[in-house]
Structure 1
Amino acid sequence: MRVPSGSLSCQAGSVTSTLEQHDTELREHTAAELPWRTIVWDDPVNLMSYVSYVFRSYFGYPREEAERLMLQVHTEGRAVVANGNREAMERHVQAMHGYGLQATVSRAET
C-alpha cells in the first residue's frame, strides 16, 4: 500500500516536532535535577579561625576538612561548602549570613 507523499511529510514533521519537544523537556528536566551548591566567599573581616569554627559548628565538618575549606576560601577566594537541593542550599546561605560570612547559592556545573 502506498502512502501519499503529502501524508508522509506531515507525519515525518510531526515525529520531528515530537522528538524536538522531548529533547527540550529532557534538557529542562535534567537541568532541574542538577544539585545546587553553597559557596562561601573570602572577605577582609572574618578571621580564618572563625571561618573554620563556623564550618565545624554549623556543617559538622571535622577539623581537618573545615580548615581545608577555610584555606580554600582564603587562597582561592571561595569554596563550595555544601551541595544539594536548592531549598537546603538557601537555608545554608542564610545561616552563613547569620554568622557574618558572605555566601551565595549557585547551580552546580555539569
Structure 2
Amino acid sequence: MEYPVIAQGTIETPTVEKEVATKGEIQAPWNVVVHNDPVNLMTYVTMVFQRVFGYPRERAEKHMLEVHQKGRSILWSGVRERAELYVQQLHAYLLLATIEKAG
C-alpha cells in the first residue's frame, strides 16, 4: 500500500535564543519586600514574620510597623532562590510580598 505525499520540501530548523544569566546576576542579592494591606491584623503580621523568618518578637514588630507606616518593609536580602521561597511562604499566610533586586 502506498501513502500519498502530502508536502514536499525542506523544513527550516527554528532558531532558539537562550537567556543566560551571568554569575554576577545569579549571586546578586534580592530583597523580600512585604507590602501593606488593610486586611491583616498587626498581631497576625508580626506572628507571620516570626514564623517565616524566625525573628524575635521585637524585630518582627519593627518590620510590621514599618509596613504599616511606610507601606512596605524589606524583611530579608540574599540569593534569589531563597527569596522566592520566602515570598511563597508569605503568600501562604495571605500577605502581599514581592522580590526585587537589591541596590
Task: Give the TM-score normalised by the residue count of structure 1.
Answer: 0.70
Amino acid at match of 1:35: P
Q: Runs of 4+ in structure 1 displaced over 6 angstroms?
A: none
> Any stretches of 5+ residues in structure 1 without a counterpart?
1-27
The alignment's TM-score, normalised by the length of structure 2, stands at 0.75
Answering whether residue 60 of structure 2 is matched by residue 86 of structure 1, we say no
Q: Alpha carbon RMSD of aligned pairs, Å?
A: 1.2
Structure 2 alignment gaps of length 5 or more: 1-21
Preserved CA contact (<8 Å) 2:30 2:100: yes
The Cα shift of 1:40 comes to 0.3
Q: Could you tell me how far apart the structure 1 residues matched to 2:25 and 2:87 are?
A: 21
Bigger share in helix: 1
Cα deviation digits, residues 20-71 of structure 1 (max 9, x gap): xxxxxxxx65454320010000001000000000001111101100000000
Look up the equivalent residue of 2:88 and give its one-letter code: Q
| 1:99 corresponds to which of 69, 93, 97 | 93
Give 1:49's aligned amino acid.
Answer: T
- Give the structure 1 partner of residue 39 of structure 2: 45
2:7 maps to what in 1? Answer: none
Give me the identity figure in percent.
48
Aligned partner of 2:102 in structure 1 is 108
3-state SS, counterpart of residue 79 of structure 1 = strand
